[in-house]
A and B are shown apart, each in its own frame.
Chain A
Amino acid sequence: MRRILAVLLENEAGSLSRVANLFSARGINIESLAVTPTPDETLSRMTIVTFGDDRILEQITKQLHKLVDVVTVVDMTGQNHVEREMALIKLRLRDEGSVDDLQRVNKVYRGRIADVSALCYTSEVVGTSEEIDAYLAAMAEHEVVEVVRSGPLGIARGEQVLSIRQNQ
């Protein structure tokens, strides 16, 4: 089962590698990982997507907590949350007439053209991971020459806030 975890940790050298190391040492794959400092620059926030059953998730959550640098871990999988991923997609269109095709798909998926050259268009798409997958499927008849995806970011809906007090 797909899982999405939000992690607050000390913004220190090596923190990221402790987290990455933990997953590999326990034999669990990281599907995606996004990390940046928070407005409080002493902290970083990570969104990790992984796969596993309840037992594996319980164990990995506990192991993350056990890392001395980790302040808070929240499993957002079961919680009501907003998830967004961004993708930059470089396309070689089938023919000139295909620009309409691109703009139609962009309209459906809230994409926009971020760059254009003689041979390539680069689209920027923000949405759920499924929407980005669907966008790519919709453009399948054109040549997708490069894709870069951020991995999902997650935040709880409503008033709930990920804070350093939220230690489970």
Chain B
Amino acid sequence: MDNLKQSSNPETQELTGAEIFTRCLVEEGATTVFGYPGGAVLHIYDELHKQEEVDHILVRHEQGAAHAAEGFAKSTGKVGVVLVTSGPGATNAVTGIADAYMDSVPLVVFTGQVRTALIGNDAFQEVDTVGITRPCVKHNILVKKVEDLPLAIKRAFHIAGTGRPGPVVVDIPKDVTEQSMVFSYPQDPDMRSYQPTIEGHAGQIKRAARLIAKAERPIIYSGGGVISSNAHEELTEFTRLTGFPITNTLMGLGAYPGTDPQFIQMLGMHGSYEANMAMHHSDVLIAVGARFDDRITGRLDGFCPYAKVIHIDVDPSSISKNFRAHVPVVGDARKVLRALTDELRDGKYTMPDISAWWGQIGEWAKKDSFAYEQDMDGEIKPQYVLDQLYKQTGGDAFVTSDVGQHQMWVAQLYKFTQPRRWINSGGLGTMGFGLPAAMGVQLAHPDAQVCCVTGEASIQMCIQELSTCRQYGLPIKIINLNNRYMGMVRQWQDFFYDSRYAMSYMDALPDFVKLAESYGHAGMKIEKPKDVEPALREILSLKDRLVFADFVTDPRENVFPMIAPGAAHNEMILS
């Protein structure tokens, strides 16, 4: 059969939709697919089985497939690929799709669909996938005939990976995968209605430069867009040239070296005192690839009251959505930062002397707002574990996290010096993200140290993926900060509900060590502060296997500083 295929003329030879599907993935260089089979995608799975160019990773739940593809995409910059079946396969993936949408992660999610003749008949495992996903995708496409499949896939990858990245769903009815046609892959996505603005407007860049040169209390506020556009070098160059202080959002950590003296730490609800105070008192705010999210701004009418705002973003709808920009610059962060740096180097401008401003920031920084105290005879402080993790990995590991207190502590204490090392769910705040995301990262970087920092509540939301980790031999290090509470929920109940802990206690917890062992992994329980350092040393040295490290931590620890909802940057709770 193979010989027969090879001897026939490739330009007239017909391929089935399922064969075309795999050919298109190869054309896109998308050779790692995260998925789960089912009736509507069986033709595709059969085809995947017959070939060797595309690797398929079998997850244990479709949500895991989407998060794993996100981890893959975020850590590499490539488009992540998901393949699930119709009905529950698609609905299970929706959380991951929505997560990717909120955090601008390039994904192409292929969903099986019932046969075209059955669509609308409430057939077995039928849902209106295009309708369900419409509000949480960058775009979605229902492919109605095989002739439309190659262009749909070409467009899906193009849309997902360009402009402001995001997830694209391609819904493929089963009969489309068995129809056949002569295959050719289009070179051009041919889309008159989709042309993202990449180059910044030269006049706006000049206006920005003039504002920068006159600044007295400037601050650079950069977000995930800098990482998406691979603009970290340009950002670093721009920041060093100006000598301005820089703060990063949760999603932007690693775009500027966390160890650099110009870096004044993360900002926002759990950001540093100096970053939030500097934002509040700034006179020129340079926002790059950040979207003035409510966890960043706090109360909008108290946000940056003295600042003129330069806002650089590839998505025009992010500009002046929450906060009015005085100098909007639509364009790719990398291109715009390079143009702005060139403009500032042109000799027409002198950088302002901001030594008094740095003096003030230095005063604020003395609060040392991320400080904690570890009593070596007391309970393990979660921050101590992360501090040790940072020290022992040299700041060089890929760290994924789930959502809650542990996530904020990593963001505060792990000084990322490179982009794409910090993989977390920011916008949607999806508990259960961390472990599957770590799988995607580890598959993309087989030799790298990948740590999943989590808590006993979050980890249970996608715990089934321990089985996937076993199947593919993924040596992820799970750092479980086990405080027996949904920590962030309990923290809010402490602050705003008179410590009535409604449903935030995690009762009937499994023995995580035995659980890990039953999946074929190593487990370890650490209960004393003095054991943290040697335990981490051992865990990190086990290169060939997954270790589930269950750290029993102080159940009362809270994340500080905190800007309460409805408060402004200068109204932080410090301890």
CA–CA, A71 and B191, complex, Å: 9
Interface: A14 (CB within 8 A): yes
Which residue of B has the minimal Cβ distance to A72? B193
Task: Name the contact of A21 in the complex, choosing from B135, B191, B193 (C-beta under 8 A).
Answer: B135
**A68 with B139: in contact, given A9-B193, A59-B317 (CB under 8 Å)?**
yes
Encode A142-168 as 1/0 by CB contact (under 8 A) with B: 000000000000000000000010010
Q: Is the CB of A62 within 8 A of B316?
A: yes
Q: Is the CB of B192 within 8 A of A71?
A: yes
Q: Is the CB of A18 within 8 A of B193?
A: no
CB within 8 Å of A: which of B143-200? 159, 191-195
CB within 8 Å of A: which of B295-327? 315-317, 319-321
The interface residues of chain A lying within 8 Å CB-to-CB of B316 are: 62, 65-66
Interface: B131 (CB within 8 A): yes
CA–CA, A68 and B195, complex, Å: 9
CA–CA, A13 and B195, complex, Å: 21
CA–CA, A92 and B191, complex, Å: 52
The interface residues of chain B lying within 8 Å CB-to-CB of A17 are: 131, 134
Please classify how large the interface on chain B is, using the bins under 10, 10 to 19, 20 to 34, 35 or more. Answer: 20 to 34
Q: Is the CB of B192 within 8 A of A164?
A: yes
Interface: B142 (CB within 8 A): yes
Q: Is the CB of A68 within 8 A of B142?
A: no
**A13 with B315: in contact, given A69-B193, A71-B192, A164-B192 (CB under 8 Å)?**
no
The number of inter-chain residue pairs (CB within 8 angstroms) is 41
How close is A48's CB to chain B, nearest CB, in angstroms? 17
Task: Name the contact of A13 in the complex, choosing from B138, B142, B321 (C-beta under 8 A).
Answer: B142
Task: Name the contact of B195 in the complex, choosing from A14, A59, A167 (C-beta under 8 A).
Answer: A167
Encode A6-23 as 1/0 by CB contact (under 8 A) with B: 000110011001100100
Task: Name the contact of A71 in the complex, choosing from B130, B193, B317 (C-beta under 8 A).
Answer: B193
Q: Is the CB of B138 within 8 A of A55?
A: no
The interface residues of chain B lying within 8 Å CB-to-CB of A69 are: 139, 193
CB within 8 Å of A: which of B222-250? none
Interface: A91 (CB within 8 A): no
The interface residues of chain B lying within 8 Å CB-to-CB of A5 are: none
CA–CA, A70 and B139, complex, Å: 11
CB within 8 Å of A: which of B36-79? none
CB within 8 Å of A: which of B402-435? none
How close is A113's CB to chain B, nearest CB, in angstroms? 41
The interface residues of chain B lying within 8 Å CB-to-CB of A9 are: 193
Interface: A25 (CB within 8 A): yes
Interface: A58 (CB within 8 A): yes
Encode A45-56 as 1/0 by CB contact (under 8 A) with B: 000000000010
Interface: A63 (CB within 8 A): yes
**A10 with B317: in contact, given A21-B134, A25-B135 (CB under 8 Å)?**
no
Which residue of A has the minimal Cβ distance to B193? A71
CA–CA, A18 and B139, complex, Å: 9
CA–CA, A17 and B138, complex, Å: 14
How close is B110's CB to chain A, nearest CB, in angstroms? 18
The interface residues of chain A lying within 8 Å CB-to-CB of B159 are: 68
Which of A18, A25, A62 has its CB near the most chain B CB atoms (within 10 A)? A62
List chain A positions with a Cβ less than 8 A from chain B. Answer: 9-10, 13-14, 17-18, 21, 25, 55, 58-59, 62-63, 65-66, 68-71, 164, 167
What are the 7 tightest A-B residue pairs by CB atom distance, in nearest-first order? Answer: A62-B317, A68-B139, A71-B193, A62-B316, A68-B194, A63-B317, A25-B135
